[in-house]
Amino acid sequence: QEKAQQILGGRRSAIVVLDVRSGAVRAMVSGPGFDPNVFVGPSSDVERAQVFANPDHPLINRALQGTYPTGSVFKIVTMSAGMEGGSMDPLDTTFNCPGYWDGLGRGARKRCWKTDGHGTIALQDGLSASCNVVFYNVGLALHEKDGDLLSRYGRDFGLGQETGLDALREEGGLIPGPDWKQEALGQIWYPGDTVNLAIGQGYLRVTPLQVARMMGAVANGGTLYRPFLVDHIEAGSTHPLEVTEAQAVGSLPLTPEHLASLQAGLLGVTANETIGTASHRFKGLSIPVAGKTGTAEAGGADAEPHSWFAAYAPADDPEIALVVIAE
């Protein structure tokens, strides 16, 4: 917890660390912070006003109440839906990435972040390389099968809904889909909506805590736990010892074989020096890390994107899931 606070400094950001075996919160930090003493005593009117007027909104607990598009972190869900719902083999299903994609027509051309393309690439490597063209194709194929299929997988992964953490208020966010769009906007759900969702953009909004819980489930074999803050309350003269028991609230819709492929793709993000999008940052680290990078458009022509990293470690015997977002 202390180290996470030091790392954040004054940035608009959040870090969440969970125990993958129970959902216990090991660290949870939101930045920038504020001095809670200004809300005690009558002599702090100016300091209180400064906190309220701060354009960085320090009173928002970004770990629980900040809702963001995930960018490429959502490709974890999209790959899973492609394997389970789209019958795609993680190694044998391949795609050609020339650096762009015209699947919705040349007038709606979309780009891969790697402008010269990834060439022929399999689904599992597409996750390690975060190839947009791979996931545009997967998204369109899923839409043609069922327009709500990818959205359902997102909800099955625990996204777009409160986690049930006690004592602190959290936002649920949104996994958009055909029914939501018709009800909220009076519009139909287009193939482009699913394609945008496939790379974690569009109407999608989730919290860092939700993403951390998802990563914990990927790490532990597929169990979604309800996060908790208090490990135990010591016995006293009037009450016995109270221990918080781990509470499973769901499971990922993945076969063991497909989960193993997903884990291999995530390990490639940090360990595959040829295509891994974070391998340069983890080179030489003695602890193996499985993770996913994400760059999420924040809206507005001049807005800088949000940066995500979602991970678990050690990759070969997971203990913690960790998520960082920098606005």
Catalytic residues: 72
Q: Tell me how many degrees the CA angle 183-188-190 measures, rounded to the nearest 5.
A: 135
Query: In this structure, are residues 99 and 115 in contact, taking their beta carbons and an 8 Å threshold?
Result: yes
Bridge partners, 15 (sequence order): 29, 324
Cβ contacts of 34 within 8 Å, gap of 6 or more: 51, 54, 58, 59
Environment class of residue 273 by beta-carbon count within 10 Å: exposed (0-12), middle (13-18) or buried (19+)? exposed
Cα(240)–Cα(108) distance, rounded to whole angstroms? 64
Query: In this structure, are residues 296 and 200 in contact, taking their beta carbons and an 8 Å threshold?
Result: yes
HEC sequence for 106-150 = HHHCEECCCCCCCEEEEHHHHHHHCCHHHHHHHHHHHHHHCCCHH
